[in-house]
């Protein structure tokens, strides 16, 4: 029995068997966190692009849109959402976003505030359990402001 207790053959394999899953779990968690940080930076950029687009689109000539100047609805909002989705295509193939404005109509001197909620899908095999929990996606929220670029005159017909 004493010979068995002193035998250390296979101790390295046993240690590797214990440590390998922990190392893989740590690695994939770090990968998921890094991917989430890239998605957060892309969402920040997309929000700024959306605010920039909104400040110009909302003031554009109404003959090109289905709503009056300054109205944040219809085709104008679809164009703003498209401006938000474009930078997020670097992160996912089909971004799921919700775009909100702080007002429904804008006038000269107003600040256009855009809030973007982006559902980033957690895809790392093991790390998503710790980073995203049981949900398949992590919601990233960002807000950006730009001054309304509307002119102080009415467009002619």
2-28: pLDDT as tens digits? 555 566 666 667 777 788 888 888 898
Task: Give φ, ψ of 72 to 5 degrees.
Answer: -95, 75
Residue 137 forms part of a structural domain: yes
Given the structure tokens 């929220």, which residue do they identify?
141
Q: Which domain holds residue 90?
A: 13-147
Task: Give the pairing of strands 96-101 and 137-147.
Answer: unpaired
pLDDT beyond 70 at 69: yes
Q: What's the whole-model pTM score?
A: 0.81
pLDDT at 9: 66
For 18-54, how does the pLDDT look when each residue is reduced to its tens digit (9 = 90+)?
888 888 888 988 988 999 999 999 999 999 999 999 9
For 90-143, how does the pLDDT look when each residue is reduced to its tens digit (9 = 90+)?
999 999 999 999 998 888 888 999 999 999 998 888 777 788 888 888 999 999
Residue 152 forms part of a structural domain: no
Residue 1 forms part of a structural domain: no
Burial zone of 96 (CB within 10 Å; 0-12 exposed, 13-18 middle, 19+ buried): middle
Token duo for residue 1: 């029995």
> What does the DSSP 8-state code read for residue 71?
B
Residue 153 forms part of a structural domain: no
pLDDT at 26: 87
Cα 117 from chain centroid (whole Å): 7
Residue 26 forms part of a structural domain: yes
pLDDT at 34: 92
Cα 18 from chain centroid (whole Å): 36
Residue 49 forms part of a structural domain: yes
Give how many domains the chain has, as a whole number.
Answer: 1
Cβ-contact 47, 143 below 8 angstroms: yes
Taking the CA atoms of the chain, what radius of gyration do you get in angstroms?
25
Residue 142 forms part of a structural domain: yes
Can you tell me the mean pLDDT for 136-154? 86
Please list the residues that pair with 96 across neighbouring strands.
119
pLDDT at 48: 95
Cα gap 83→46, rounded to integer Å: 7
Residue 156 forms part of a structural domain: no
Report the chain's terminal Cα–Cα distance, integer Å: 101
């Amino acid at each position: 029995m004493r010979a068995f207790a002193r035998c250390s053959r296979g101790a390295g394999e046993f240690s590797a068997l214990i440590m390998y899953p922990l190392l893989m779990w740590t690695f994939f968690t770090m990968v998921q966190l890094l991917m989430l940080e890239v998605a957060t930076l892309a969402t920040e950029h997309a929000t700024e692009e959306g605010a920039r687009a909104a400040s110009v689109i909302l003031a554009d000539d109404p003959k090109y849109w289905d709503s009056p100047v300054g109205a944040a609805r219809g085709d104008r909002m679809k164009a703003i959402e498209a401006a938000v989705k474009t930078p997020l295509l670097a992160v996912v193939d089909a971004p799921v976003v919700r775009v909100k404005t702080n007002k429904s109509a804008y006038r000269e001197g107003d600040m256009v505030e855009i809030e973007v909620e982006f559902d980033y899908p957690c895809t790392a095999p093991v790390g998503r359990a710790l980073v995203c929990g049981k949900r398949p996606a992590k919601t990233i929220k960002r807000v950006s402001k730009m001054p309304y670029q509307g002119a102080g005159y009415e467009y002619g017909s």
